[in-house]
Structure 1
Amino acid sequence: MTYKFIDGAQGEGGGQVLRSALTMSILTKQPIEIVNIRAKRRKPGLLRQHLTSVLAAQAICGATTEGVELGAGRIRFSPGEVVPGDYHFAIGTAGSTVLVCQTILPVLALSNARSSVTFEGGTHNGKSPSLCFFEQSYLPLMQLMGMRCEVERIALGFYPAGGGKWKITIEPTKDLGEVALTTAASNFAATPENCQLHALISQLPLSIGEREVKTATDILNWDAAEGTVTEVDSPGPGNSFQLKIKSNTHTSVFEVVGEMGVSAERVAKRCAGRVRKFVHSQTAVEEQLADQLLIPMTLAGGGSYTTTKPTLHTATNIDVIKQFTDIEITTEQLNDVCWKITLGA
């Protein structure tokens, strides 16, 4: 058997290379050999979150694998036929359940029957997209492209305790449609009803969230915007502060997860700083979402969006996708702070 060689040390050299390669392998039915997995991370190789992504990818298509175990720096993955159905994947740590989901979601969405998948692990760990981001930013755009999904929250899981649990139901679709996202989010941020401040609090004083909301409100002059503090049920203590800008296609979600020894005011300042930079750029898509749109748009055969300077994650994802398909992906700098990414002719 001939395997497509994927160097896990390329670009950002983290888990994204692995996940994108798994997704594209199943979709293009190309066996892969991935080496140097997460080579640029402090603890290289497969951690539990990454192992769960491989096992999830294997389960939904009956893949044949080699070397799949904790700590592995090299694996082989030969995909079979996709089998929609009911699945349950538990990470066992606070690792990102959202990233596991994103590995298999495009595959199951393009299958021929409904699937339901339950995930257990982290939902808000600060180092990856949260479940809030997934629900409010990523999924609305997937639905705009033709995916039909519904999320049921059961429990949230903060780092380090984890313990989150949620379920997604995925209806089959034959094709994804192209979208063009070019309307600047600053157009919507100018209207108070499109802006929200939201603090999630678990097993901590609600005053932490209240201080976060007040600090960000003062920095951004969002006095007329809605600000809320929500106490949530989670196995361990946690805090997620979120600033949101609603547009006519999705919500741009900016999130900073609270850490021991970092004040509520500092958390809010970090988050507000990201919002100010994004609004100033007059782009439609913030940097975290920018790299996650690439595979769905590849499956749609095209699309475009404006964003801030592409991150290393975005550049790496483009390189991985190009190893599986000949779709044209161009990155054009429009001005000092705005770039346009276009897929297709």
Structure 2
Amino acid sequence: MPKSTPILQICGDSGGGQLLRSSLSLSLVTGQPFRMTNIRGKRPKPGLMRQHLTCVKAAAEICDAAVDGAELGSTELVFHPGKITGGDYSFAIGTGGSTTLVLQTLLPALLHAAMVSTLRIEGGTHNPMAPPFEFVEQCYLPAIAALGVDATVKLERPGFMQAGGGVLTAQIQPVKQWQKLVLTERGAPVETFGRVLHAHLHRDIAEREIAAAAAILQWQAEKIGLRYATDSAGPGNAILLGARFANVCEITSGIAQMGKTAESVATGAAKSLRGYLASSAPVGAHLADQLLLPMALAGGGVFHTLTITDHTRTNMALIEQFLPRRFAVEDVEPGVKAVSCS
């Protein structure tokens, strides 16, 4: 798209990094340039952090974009996309920033490339405020496979918040034919499961997490496995709790952080899964947010979810700025909402 095309003006203060990442994805796919001001304006440290900058530079690389403002701390960005080019790419965040968020930024564009693409992204694979690797592998990618997406991911090495050093790889096939999303029922139950990923920390932390989560979910402690991530570059810990059904999988997680007890990390994840299991909605709150953009690209659809967050509504409004789509939310039953796109 030539640079004479009117630039879409976006204010970034109403959202965090997700608003930027979605804008990049949509700009790549539509060819629509944008200017974002006041990036992450309401965050304690506004502007681009290293993982956001990696997303910007990676997006620019796969489409030979012209970019202004791609610097650490920048609160304004101008992005003029070029033509998407598939192929083999490698990106390093340089910190423990989320590799899965970089992947989700680039995936929509590479689905529209003319050839198969491979990605190697180095950074954090298990971060607070980001989907852990297992969520992308077992929840997100299977859900969008129904839309015609053929993408696989592999965890080469786990990486946690401070040290980073984790490696995620992905292979992405161009979409041959989009299919509209319909995800309104969970289907038959298959299994519930749990695991703690534990690196260079005392075993007692993992055991306390397992005990706390098992008590809340009324599981036997042996149901939650323990894996030592001895190849991690630094210390870290993640508890992953899941429920698999015929049509969908949900994984809730807790990531160990300084100042948080093992019990509080596990309790948050366990209560989230317990809340999901108490509902009939197939799509959890995090997956709901992540399905919006692929559903819009596929031409529409509908899914049932538990709650609609402000985060989700902001993402809907942004997508409607780039694409000729409209979202609607309706109550299906108490605690269950239908999100449709047409």
Aligned residues: 337
Alignment of 1:68-217 (within 5 A): 68-184=70-186, 188=189, 194-217=191-214
Q: Deviations over 1:35-75 (max 9, x none)?
A: 11111111111111101111111011111111211111111
Alignment of 1:279-298 (within 5 A): 279-298=277-296
Q: Deviations over 1:320-343 (max 9, x none)?
A: 001112212101123331111011
CA distance in 1 between counterparts of 2:128 and 2:40 reads 19
Shift of 1:312: 1.6
Q: Deviations over 1:289-330 (max 9, x none)?
A: 110000100011012111112112111110100111221210
CA distance in 2 between counterparts of 1:259 and 1:224 reads 23
Supply the AA of the counterpart residue of 1:245.
A
Deviates more, 1:158-167 or 1:331-340: 331-340
- Conservation of the 8 A alpha-carbon contact between 2:185 and 2:247: no
- Conservation of the 8 A alpha-carbon contact between 2:48 and 2:71: yes
Deviates more, 1:293-302 or 1:139-148: 139-148
Corresponding position of 1:313: 311
CA distance in 2 between counterparts of 1:217 and 1:31 reads 49
CA distance in 1 between counterparts of 2:221 and 2:300 reads 38
Corresponding position of 1:275: 273
Shift of 1:278: 1.7
- Conservation of the 8 A alpha-carbon contact between 2:186 and 2:245: no
| Structure 1 position 229 matched with structure 2 position 226 | yes
Percent identity, aligned pairs only, is 41
CA distance in 2 between counterparts of 1:312 and 1:83 reads 34
Q: Deviations over 1:107-130 (max 9, x none)?
A: 101211011111011111112111
Shift of 1:213: 2.2
- The one of 5, 9, 13 equivalent to 1:5 is 9
Corresponding position of 2:301: 303
- Conservation of the 8 A alpha-carbon contact between 1:206 and 1:229: no
- Conservation of the 8 A alpha-carbon contact between 1:333 and 1:340: yes
CA distance in 1 between counterparts of 2:158 and 2:77 reads 31
- The structure-2 alpha-carbon separation of the partners of 1:245 and 1:225, relative to structure 1 and needing over 3 Å to count, comes to farther
Supply the AA of the counterpart residue of 2:79.
F
Shift of 1:225: 7.9
CA distance in 2 between counterparts of 1:225 and 1:319 reads 44
Provide the secondary structure at the position in 1 that maps to 2:13. Answer: coil
Q: Deviations over 1:10-53 (max 9, x none)?
A: 3xx21111111111111111111111111111111111110111
CA distance in 2 between counterparts of 1:26 and 1:341 reads 25
5+ unaligned residues in a row in structure 2: which ranges?
none
TM-score w.r.t. structure 1 length? 0.93
- Conservation of the 8 A alpha-carbon contact between 1:112 and 1:173: no
Corresponding position of 1:242: 240
Provide the secondary structure at the position in 1 that maps to 2:297. Answer: helix
Q: Deviations over 1:140-166 (max 9, x none)?
A: 112222111222322111111111112
Shift of 1:224: 9.2
CA distance in 1 between counterparts of 2:259 and 2:64 reads 45
CA distance in 2 between counterparts of 1:113 and 1:266 reads 45
- Conservation of the 8 A alpha-carbon contact between 2:60 and 2:66: yes
- The one of 23, 29, 48 equivalent to 2:50 is 48
Corresponding position of 1:332: 330
Provide the secondary structure at the position in 1 that maps to 2:334. Answer: coil
Shift of 1:184: 4.3
TM-score w.r.t. structure 2 length? 0.94
Provide the secondary structure at the position in 2 that maps to 1:136. Answer: helix
CA distance in 2 between counterparts of 1:198 and 1:92 reads 27
CA distance in 2 between counterparts of 1:330 and 1:314 reads 12
